[in-house]
Chain A
Amino acid sequence: ETGVTQSPTHLIKTRGQQVTLRCSSQSGHNTVSWYQQALGQGPQFIFQYYREEENGRGNFPPRFSGLQFPNYSSELNVNALELDDSALYLCASTQGASNYGYTFGSGTRLTVV
């Protein structure tokens, strides 16, 4: 049974650019959530996808968007990058929309310069 894998592990982007982060869910999981973890803070919920539909969103602007594919892998897209978007982005998967038994990936470290 494979866990949650995220790519890339590190990324450097310039302010104003767009970025796509990828996540492969754990086998058998149909729900994926994305979290942003700024330095020295706990993870903050961005949004959740269940069966390819967004079914929950945190306090993040629309330039943060996502996709979930039929194989339950997922993407996080961020447009018009700002310096404050620099953070660790964590993907977590589980089975069931309201199941909080998440398995987290190791994250993508995004640096915006």
Chain B
Amino acid sequence: DQQVKQNSPSLSVQEGRISILNCDYTNSMFDYFLWYKKYPAEGPTFLISISSIKDKNEDGRFTVFLNKSAKHLSLHIVPSQPGDSAVYFCAAHGSSNTGKLIFGQGTTLQVKP
């Protein structure tokens, strides 16, 4: 069963506009959520995270919103830049004694100049 879902395989936006990447989850026990960015031939790199006790976290051009009642989170990138073009993964951490992360399938973002 896919506990973390990213239903949009791809997204294309114009440089300078807002990019919104979405993620849904099914397990209400998840206590922490993360976004990773992945370029080809590289490993995922951490972008931004949010604890389940918060509904928003902001870091520069990146903001993550969490709606616990809807089991939904989103990543906003404003303004989008061509260098943001990559695959974005949403990941969730459950309340276990390991650092196990459950990843979504990823969304490929293309930012056009």
Collect the chain A residues with CB atoms within 8 Å of residue B104's CB: 42
List 28 A-B residue pairs with CB atoms under 8 Å apart, sorted by A's residue number.
A35-B103, A41-B105, A41-B106, A42-B89, A42-B103, A42-B104, A43-B44, A43-B89, A45-B100, A45-B101, A48-B99, A50-B98, A55-B98, A56-B96, A56-B97, A58-B100, A97-B98, A98-B96, A98-B98, A100-B32, A100-B34, A101-B46, A102-B46, A102-B99, A102-B101, A104-B45, A105-B43, A106-B43
New A-B contacts (8) at CB < 8 Å, excluding given A33-B98, A42-B104: A4-B43, A33-B100, A45-B100, A50-B98, A97-B98, A98-B99, A99-B99, A100-B99
- Cβ contact of B105, chosen from A33, A35, A40, A97, cutoff 8 A: A40
Binding site for B on A (CB under 8 A): 4, 31, 33, 35, 40-45, 48, 50, 55-56, 58, 90, 92, 94, 96-107
Q: Does B111 contact A (CB under 8 A)?
A: no
Q: Once bound together, how far apart are the Cα atoms of A79 and B81, in whole Å?
A: 44
B102 within 8 Å of A (CB atoms): yes
A90 B43 Cβ-Cβ under 8 A: yes
Q: List, in ascending order, chain B residues with CB within 8 A of A35's CB.
A: 103
Q: How far is the CA of A41 from the CA of B36 in the complex (A)?
A: 14
Q: With the chains together, A48 CA to B97 CA distance in Å? A: 11
**CB neighbours of A42 from chain B (8 A):** 4, 6, 89, 91, 103-106
A99: which B residues are within 8 A, CB to CB? 99
In the complex, chain A residues whose CB is within 8 Å of the CB of B99: 31, 33, 48, 56, 94, 96-100, 102
Q: A41, A48, A104, A106: which contacts B100 (Cβ < 8 A)?
A: A48
Instruction: A58 to B103: give the CA distance in the assembly, Å.
Output: 13
From the candidates A45, A97, A105, name the one contacting B97 in the complex (CB within 8 A). Answer: A97
Contacts of B41 in A (CB 8 A): 106
Say yes or no for B59: interface residue by CB 8 A criterion: no
Asked whether any CB of chain A lies closer than 8 Å to the CB of B93, the reply is yes
